[in-house]
Chains A and B, each alone.
Chain A
Amino acid sequence: MRVVLQQLTKRFGAVTAVDALDLEIKSGEFVGLLGPSGCGKTTTLLMIAGIYRPTGGAIVFGDHRVEHLMPKDRGIGMVFQSYALYPHMTVAQNIGFPLAMRRGVAGDEITRRVREAAALVHVDGLLARKPAQLSGGQQQRVALARALVKRPDILLLDEPLSNLDARLRHEMRGEIKRLQKEVGITAIFVTHDQLEALTMADRVALMSDARLQAYATPKELYERPVNQFVAEFIGSPPMNFFAAELGRRNGSVLATAQGIEIELPPARAPRGDGQRQATVGIRPEHLAIVAPGAGHANGEIYVIEPMGREQIVDVQIGERRLRAIAPPGFSAPLGASVGLRAAVDQLHLFDPAGGERLA
């Protein structure tokens, strides 16, 4: 079922938690609400769930507005950050609770559907246990089964992976993504972890300070961030930024900063002549370490962090430091002079004033 948010707003007293949010989620789509803590993403989810009443705006499920409906009448299933399993009930009772709350679902029908939902997330062997007897990953699966057992139109997940350890997080990431596609349910999840958002979601809504910053596929967010906030937030290690002067030489645009000079390809140069200054962004993987003088900038090695598959190399250039990624074989003493070459077609230019993308 499609979900549309129109000018959705939530204020708590003087604080605006969500400010005029517009978002459209297609039927069957898996959308991640991503942003730093306090950006309003969980508030948005709780408004969709019906826990919070919006201060303004509309929430549309399918063709119907639902802002006035109680959570139980919205056809949603939800997984909470703490999983919120009922501690005094067994796993089977937990999963069956949404069905027991419905009128006219027979006992054996409940038993059958609880088994079905439990099998879907591989907890059918744990039905007699209490939540306290389960591991974090098992609790997570039970919470998923409980959310799905009444066959809701929409699945909501609040920070579904944040309480799991790193290994389990990786496993559940894939599991949830597979499950969402298998069931074919429209799903929205909240996360502060960009890796989760990028790996799981079909589209990511990036929020900050109560506002929507970008809404795009992970690929678009990564490869063509619409503003500097998006560019900064997405990617690990984060993108390098430096302020540069824009000038022209022989018909092409030149970005220069202390110790750096890059000729921009036409596709990446801002249109028109007006722009004199820009914030240049480049991801570490698009900077290569070369011999001194052979690249766009020269500097000294500040520190090397081996990551196994690759190494992160910080290079000091004048007063600023740029981060590059080198292959595992790379080795150099600290302080060694090196050159940096940028993949010029991967440069991002942002307006220093508003942070909007220039080209």
Chain B
Amino acid sequence: MTGTTLPAPRAPFRPQTLIPYAVLVLATLPILVLYVWLTYSSFFPRIEGFRPVGPFTLENWRFLWDPGSVDQLRNKPAIIPLTINTFLFAISTSVVVVLISSMAGYALSRLPFPGRRMFLGGVLLLHSFPSVTLLIATFIVLRQLGLYDRLLGVILVKAAFELPFGVWIMKGFFDTVPWELEMAALVDGASRLRTWWRIVMPLVKPGLLALGILTFVQGWNEFILPFVFMPSGSQQTLSTFVRAILGEGRFVDYGLLTAVGLYYVAPVLVLFVVAQDQLMRVYAGGVKG
């Protein structure tokens, strides 16, 4: 090492380096335009093409504080209980999936039980199975269990559909935790259960977080299951509410629709912005010390 410090060499600018950005901008632009359109059209009385008409107004957002004055919302459940319902649905699904996936994934990653390979294959197969085809069978099962038209029933069904993905992802995360760490914990005096809880689980925390967030979003966006299995009003979720606005009456109030739509996607957008680092790890995989 010499005493003088040379300035770090800067890579010469090459126009080619802009190409990926150009492609990405072009690809994301339509999506961005849609969100912008959604946002501003909820604040104006009328939209012609992409152009808002009339003065800025909060008229479309009245459903939040004065739902009684909106014609379309007569005979519909109130928005706040619906929102709570949706949160309850998404969070419960997420908790159930994370809990079961972390245990099943650990077993699949570590224990050489008979039928393990077949089970893994089955999990993959289920993951790629279109769940809509199971609707009727699920309906019968829910009726039998007395869980039809109840939030709990839909939570369990949604969790079951999300589990294959969760189990597979968590197995991948557990695979990255070295055996020697567990051996060390056993020698250091921990039981197997404690080793799992104190050593292994903290190391797959990124996976748990990412899986939890993804499942939450899946639950938040879920439409078919609540729509089919919770027909009565009080137990509905926001997705079925949006559909109700769209599908009833001869004319659709697009101002109201955009406002409710924005209200519906906002939590997901916020969550993605806050948690994108965590979500990336599901695909990048791996534990960093």
CB contacts under 8 Å to B, within A60-79, are 70-72, 76-78
| Interchain CB contact under 8 A, B289 and A132 | yes
Can you list 12 A-B pairs, Cβ within 8 angstroms, ordered by A? Answer: A50-B187, A51-B183, A51-B186, A70-B186, A70-B191, A80-B184, A84-B181, A84-B183, A86-B185, A87-B203, A88-B205, A132-B289
| Interchain CB contact under 8 A, B187 and A49 | yes
Shortest Cβ distance from A186 into chain B, in angstroms?
15
| Interchain CB contact under 8 A, A146 and B188 | yes
Q: How far is the CA of A104 from the CA of B190 in the complex (A)?
A: 15
Contact A82 B289, CB 8 Å, known A88-B203, A98-B188: no
CB contacts under 8 Å to A, within B168-225, are 178, 180-181, 183-191, 194, 199, 202-203, 205
| Interchain CB contact under 8 A, B188 and A72 | yes
Q: How far is the CA of A80 from the CA of B179 in the complex (A)?
A: 11
Contact A97 B203, CB 8 Å, known A84-B178, A131-B289: no
| Interchain CB contact under 8 A, A71 and B178 | no
Closest to B205 in A: A88
| Interchain CB contact under 8 A, A82 and B180 | yes
Contacts of A72 in B (CB 8 A): 186-191
Contact A130 B289, CB 8 Å, known A72-B191, A87-B203, A88-B202: yes
Could you tell me which A residues sit within 8 Å of B by CB distance?
46, 49-51, 70-72, 76-78, 80-82, 84, 86-88, 97-98, 101-102, 130-132, 146, 150, 156
Closest to A88 in B: B202
Instruction: Judge if B287 is at the interface, Cβ distance under 8 Å.
Output: yes
Contacts of A51 in B (CB 8 A): 183, 186-187
Contacts of B190 in A (CB 8 A): 72, 97, 101
Shortest Cβ distance from A260 into chain B, in angstroms?
50
Residue of B187, B191, B203, B205 near A78 (CB, 8 A) is: B187
Q: How far is the CA of A77 from the CA of B184 in the complex (A)?
A: 9
Residue of A49, A77, A101, A132 near B183 (CB, 8 A) is: A49
Q: How far is the CA of A131 from the CA of B288 in the complex (A)?
A: 11
Closest to A77 in B: B187
Contacts of A76 in B (CB 8 A): 187
Q: How far is the CA of A102 from the CA of B189 in the complex (A)?
A: 7
Q: How far is the CA of A78 from the CA of B187 in the complex (A)?
A: 7
Q: How far is the CA of A82 from the CA of B195 in the complex (A)?
A: 18
Shortest Cβ distance from A43 into chain B, in angstroms?
13
Shortest Cβ distance from B184 into chain A, in angstroms?
4
Could you tell me which B residues sit within 8 Å of A by CB distance?
178, 180-181, 183-191, 194, 199, 202-203, 205, 287-289
Residue of A50, A71, A86 near B181 (CB, 8 A) is: A86
Shortest Cβ distance from B116 into chain A, in angstroms?
16
Shortest Cβ distance from B158 into chain A, in angstroms?
31
| Interchain CB contact under 8 A, B180 and A81 | yes
Closest to A133 in B: B289
Q: How far is the CA of A88 from the CA of B137 in the complex (A)?
A: 45
Contact A87 B289, CB 8 Å, known A70-B186, A72-B188: yes
Contacts of A46 in B (CB 8 A): 183
Contacts of A150 in B (CB 8 A): 188-189
Shortest Cβ distance from B207 into chain A, in angstroms?
13
Shortest Cβ distance from B154 into chain A, in angstroms?
36
Q: How far is the CA of A82 from the CA of B183 in the complex (A)?
A: 12
Closest to A72 in B: B189
Contacts of B203 in A (CB 8 A): 87-88
Contact A86 B199, CB 8 Å, known A76-B187, A77-B187: yes
Interface centre among B185, B188, B199 (most CB of A within 10 A): B188
Contacts of A82 in B (CB 8 A): 178, 180
Closest to A158 in B: B180
Contacts of B189 in A (CB 8 A): 72, 98, 101-102, 150
Contacts of A156 in B (CB 8 A): 187
Q: How far is the CA of A88 from the CA of B185 in the complex (A)?
A: 13
Residue of A81, A101, A131, A132 near B188 (CB, 8 A) is: A101
Residue of A71, A78, A87 near B287 (CB, 8 A) is: A87
Q: How far is the CA of A101 from the CA of B180 in the complex (A)?
A: 18
Q: How far is the CA of A132 from the CA of B287 in the complex (A)?
A: 12
Contact A78 B184, CB 8 Å, known A72-B190, A98-B189, A101-B194: yes
Contacts of B181 in A (CB 8 A): 84, 86
Residue of B180, B187, B205 near A71 (CB, 8 A) is: B187
Q: Which 6 A-B pairs have the closest CB atoms?
A: A87-B289, A101-B189, A84-B184, A84-B180, A132-B289, A98-B188
15 other A-B residue contacts (CB within 8 Å) besides A84-B184, A101-B189, A132-B288? A49-B183, A50-B187, A51-B187, A71-B183, A71-B186, A71-B187, A72-B189, A80-B180, A86-B199, A88-B203, A97-B190, A101-B194, A131-B289, A132-B289, A150-B188
Closest to B181 in A: A84
Contacts of A88 in B (CB 8 A): 202-203, 205, 289
Q: How far is the CA of A71 from the CA of B191 in the complex (A)?
A: 9
Shortest Cβ distance from A282 into chain B, in angstroms?
42
Shortest Cβ distance from B233 into chain A, in angstroms?
47
Q: How far is the CA of A132 from the CA of B288 in the complex (A)?
A: 9
Q: How far is the CA of A98 from the CA of B186 in the complex (A)?
A: 9
Q: How far is the CA of A277 from the CA of B186 in the complex (A)?
A: 53
Closest to A146 in B: B188
Shortest Cβ distance from A276 into chain B, in angstroms?
52
Q: How far is the CA of A2 from the CA of B149 in the complex (A)?
A: 68
Contacts of A49 in B (CB 8 A): 183, 187
Shortest Cβ distance from B286 into chain A, in angstroms?
12
Contacts of B187 in A (CB 8 A): 49-51, 71-72, 76-78, 156
Closest to B182 in A: A84
Q: How far is the CA of A46 from the CA of B190 in the complex (A)?
A: 16
Q: How far is the CA of A49 from the CA of B182 in the complex (A)?
A: 13
Contacts of A130 in B (CB 8 A): 289
Contacts of B194 in A (CB 8 A): 101
